[in-house]
A and B are shown apart, each in its own frame.
Chain A
Amino acid sequence: MILAITITPGYYLALSALLFTAGAVGLLVRRNPLVMFMCVELMLNAVNISFVSFGDAMTDLGGQVSVFFVLVVAAAEVVIGLALVVAIMRRQPRATADDIAVMRG
């Protein structure tokens, strides 16, 4: 029964939408900056799933190449973000996202 279902790109896109929503809600709800970065990673992975799924549906390698670049950018983003977190936590341990309000314009 479950094995008889043909997995269309729609299934992958639905999963991608759910994962993106989970990441977005987590980003809005959590206050620990590290956990917020993890939620950004969730959203990036949701987009990666849809890229690869579209590439598979259209028999185009561009989707996979895009995911490769997203991976590189995610790695750079995590490095910079965690450096910022370390710099802030050194000034004020146990800072939450509410305490970084000094950075707003």
Chain B
Amino acid sequence: MEAFVFFVSAAIILAGALGVIVMRNPVHAALSLVMTLFGVAVLFINLEAYFLAAVQVIVYAGAIVVLFLFVIMLVGVDRAEDLRTEPIIRQRELALLAGAGLLAIAVIVGVASGGDVTGVPAQGDPEAADLAIDRAVEVSGDFDGDGDEETITEAPEPNVRRLGRALFTDYVFAFEITAILLTIAVVGAVVMVRRPEGELQPLPEVEPPWVLRPDLDPDPHAEVAPDPGAVEPEPDPEPDEAPAAADGEPTT
């Protein structure tokens, strides 16, 4: 059963991740991200991390993705991005090459070494024994006092209780630091989005770095042509089928 749950949720996770990468519309990418996060929550349940599964759904899918969608709607970037333009020379090939290299390193290090996890298990280490994940254990002994041995199965302590005890004993200093971190984040966000007095200056024009295509679309902020299948075309008085590279000047 664990294998079945693992493979199904792995398929969901990878499909969602692929959706984040290839979806042209940021809203669709955010919804694909929700798919991935739910798959990860299912994997956490599979690994008996019940508290983290709940927190994953509440914090990630409930708060972070909603924040993403809120910002997408607020700044109005929910237009489709043209994935065919490639402003940096050979960006896509280099990115895929870097990804393949990263995957190769990860596979060599993590998987091809047999998948063995090295180190001392916490239950055998008296220093870390209070962090050990207790399994259900069978305890033999004379419990009801009638003189003969009986075996009972002792239920493990619930995951939430153990995690809470670890957070408030061994990791209490780091826990306090996260409180400070969240406060700083909230104050910083409020300061950054505060509307300053006076007119806002647009971003200064900079000379494009050499890796950018010199023959790119002269107006990079022009409206991307909508997907012909998805959106009905609006009547456009201006013909916009001028080739993008027509009047770009090579600046090298």
Which residues in A have some Cβ–Cβ distance to B below 8 Å? 2-26, 28-32, 34-35, 37-39, 41-42, 45, 48-50, 52-62, 64-65, 67-69, 71-80, 82-96, 98-102
Contact = CB atoms under 8 A, between A and B. Distances in A.
B87 interface: yes
Chain B interface mostly? helix
A93 B7 CA distance: 42
Interface stretch (B147-155, B162-170, B230-238): B162-170
A51 to B, nearest CB: 9
Contact of B203 (A5, A25, A88): A88
A25 to B, nearest CB: 4
Contact of A69 (B63, B72, B119, B174): B174
A100 to B, nearest CB: 8
Contacts of B18: 22
A67 B60 contact: no
Interface of B: 1-4, 6-7, 10, 13-14, 17-18, 20-21, 26, 29-30, 33, 36-37, 40, 43-44, 46-49, 51-52, 55-56, 59-60, 63-64, 67-68, 71-72, 74-77, 79, 81, 87-88, 91-92, 94-96, 98-100, 102-103, 106-107, 110-111, 114-115, 117, 119-123, 128, 131-133, 135, 159, 162-163, 166-167, 170-171, 174, 178, 181-182, 184-186, 188-189, 192-193, 195, 200-204, 206, 208-209, 212, 220-221
6 contacts: A15-B43, A19-B17, A20-B102, A41-B64, A87-B193, A91-B202
Nearest to B55: A71
B68 A15 contact: no
Contact of B71 (A29, A34, A54, A64): A34
Contacts of A11: 6, 10, 115
Nearest to A73: B181
Given A34-B77, A65-B170, A82-B71, 15 more contacts: A7-B46, A24-B102, A25-B21, A25-B95, A28-B94, A34-B71, A52-B49, A59-B123, A61-B132, A67-B49, A72-B182, A75-B64, A75-B182, A76-B184, A94-B77
Given A14-B107, A29-B21, A35 B26 contact: yes
B99 A21 contact: yes
Given A17-B111, A60-B131, A89 B75 contact: yes
Contact of B81 (A12, A30, A60, A73): A30
Contact of B55 (A4, A16, A68, A96): A68
A41 to B, nearest CB: 6
A25 B101 CA distance: 11
B71 A24 contact: no
Given A19-B17, A53-B47, A61-B131, A28 B99 contact: yes
